[in-house]
Amino acid sequence: MSGEEGSVNLQDLVKRFGTVAAVDGINLEVRPGEFLSLLGPSGCGKTTTLRMLAGFEDPTEGDMFISGRSVRGVPAHKRDVNTVFQHYALFPHMSVAENVAYGLRQKKTPKDEVNRRVGEALEMVKMSPLADRKSRQMSGGQQQRVALARALVNRPSVLLLDEPLGALDRKLREEMQIELKLIQTQVGTTFIFVTHDQQEALSMSDRIAVMLDGHIEQLADPDTIYDHPVSAFVAGFIGQQNFFSGTARESGRVVQGDGWTIRATEAAAEVPDGAGALACVRPEAIAVSDVQPQGSENSVSGTLASVSHLGDVIQFVVLTPGHKEILARLPRPSAPRLEVGAQVWCSWEQDQTYVFGSEQADIVLADPAIEAAPA
């Protein structure tokens, strides 16, 4: 099989542990120089997929190609990949420069070339001033940069990253997301990044593969994943979502519940009238007002249960008569100033509503962690 340097191709990839299929027939092509994230909840198969690519697990079925060459059965140290883990596994007795140089010295690389490449790698991750410091004397963010430099100094065609920012605090993690994407753009290496953090995947990725139960639920760029989810699981797992469970009407373009009717621009695929259906709408699409909107395509009334200030946005929680909570988020400058306990109306446009069939409702509503997924 032919392939460009840095390309990755997974063909019918399966990994079973006993009778459990952790990865269940994945097909995936990663483009050279692409930043692709494998995103999903715990147990979805994303880390197992990465470990098979790295050579730490053998597939049960299927094949894997890196730069057009099959790596099934190839030992990890003979694959043109490097891996960065959540726990950086730096040598505490070595300096930063010695840690970065370790792999090159194991390969008997000439000393002059080792020094040059280590210098370039440390400059890339902005760690040159700390080249002589011991790794145990550094912060988590600094250790992460050293681990990244150690992986990149070997110039792999593909870099695999297994939740490498997971041990950092939130502020540092957000800063490192920016740095990591800038570094990837600079070096042009293919990055395959495993994470369960939706915001992390959205902020860095060229494309995202959302995984569930060992398969890829949707593969697309961040805009498409966020604005056009193909399933209720993707809609609920990426960002936050309001779900309304009811009955389909008008060939799936309408979902009707207890005291409310929600309309969508596009009909749910193959959802007959009278069948169970799930309508969903994102919090940022919802306007909140103490005046009943006139001519609104979708409008649900309720009592304002809480108001939260989240920096640049204000979050409202509205409780409907049927005890359904509606979450709305509005930019601070345009958000109304409302008192808790007030009678309010939530309204939004039809094209902000997505409708899925009852089998999708079963997936989402059975797992409260999906509905409460962080933005």
pLDDT of 302 higher than 60: yes
Confidence of residue 327 (pLDDT cuts 50, 70, 90): very high
The CATH number linked to 294 is 2.40.50.100
Does residue 210 share a domain with residue 122?
yes
Residue 20 within any structural domain of the chain: no
3-state secondary structure of 180: helix
- Chain position carrying tokens 């099989």: 1
Q: Which residue has the higher pLDDT, 307 or 138?
A: 307
**What's the whole-model pTM score?**
0.86
CA 156 to CA 82: how far, in whole Å? Answer: 6
Contact 161, 88 (CB under 8 A): no
DSSP-derived letter for residue 44 is: S
Q: How far is CA 40 from CA 7, 36, 157, 334, 373, in A?
A: 22, 13, 25, 34, 11
Does residue 339 share a domain with residue 269?
yes
pLDDT of 368 higher than 60: no
CA 22 to CA 142: how far, in whole Å? Answer: 34
Output phi, psi for 305, to 5 deg: -90, -30
- Chain position carrying tokens 């993707």: 234
- Chain position carrying tokens 């991750």: 125
CA 334 to chain centre: 29
pLDDT attached to residue 251: 82
CA 278 to chain centre: 23
pLDDT tens track for 351-363: 999 998 877 655 6
Does residue 238 share a domain with residue 151?
no
Angle value at C-alpha 202, between 12 and 366, nearest 5 degrees:
70
Residue 324 within any structural domain of the chain: yes
Q: How many domains does the chain have?
A: 2
What average pLDDT is seen over the chain? 88
Does residue 300 share a domain with residue 222?
no
pLDDT of 107 higher than 90: no
pLDDT attached to residue 373: 37
pLDDT attached to residue 3: 67
Residue 15 within any structural domain of the chain: no
The CA-based dihedral angle spanning residues 234, 347, 288, 257, taken in that order and rounded to the nearest 10 degrees = -70
Residue 13 within any structural domain of the chain: no
Residue 288 within any structural domain of the chain: yes
* Domain end (from 172, 205, 227): 227
pLDDT tens track for 248-272: 988 888 999 888 899 998 877 678 8
- Residue 318 lies in domain: 232-371
Where residue 113 falls (left for φ over 0; alpha for ψ -120 to 50; beta otherwise) is: alpha
The CATH number linked to 129 is 3.40.50.300
pLDDT of 369 higher than 60: no
Does residue 281 share a domain with residue 246?
yes
Does residue 37 share a domain with residue 178?
yes
Burial of 240 (0-12, 13-18, 19+ CB in 10 A): middle
* Domain end (from 172, 202, 227): 227
As a whole-number percent, the residues of the chain with pLDDT over 90 amount to 54
End-to-end alpha carbon distance in the chain = 40
Q: How far is CA 37 from CA 70, 215, 219, 271, 294, in A?
A: 22, 14, 10, 32, 43
Does residue 290 share a domain with residue 156?
no
Contact 319, 305 (CB under 8 A): yes
Residues 67-85: what's their mean pLDDT? 92
Contacts of 166 (CB under 8 A, 6+ apart): 86, 195, 197
Does residue 87 share a domain with residue 169?
yes
Does residue 189 share a domain with residue 222?
yes
Residues in the chain: 375
Residue 340 within any structural domain of the chain: yes
pLDDT of 135 higher than 50: yes
Residue 25 within any structural domain of the chain: no
* Domain end (from 163, 194, 227): 227
pLDDT tens track for 203-234: 999 999 999 999 999 999 999 999 999 888 89
Does residue 192 share a domain with residue 255?
no
Residues 166-178: what's their mean pLDDT? 81
Does residue 291 share a domain with residue 213?
no
CA 360 to CA 270: how far, in whole Å? Answer: 12
Contacts of 230 (CB under 8 A, 6+ apart): 217, 218
pLDDT attached to residue 362: 58
DSSP-derived letter for residue 188 is: -
Residue 161 within any structural domain of the chain: yes
Does residue 174 share a domain with residue 137?
yes
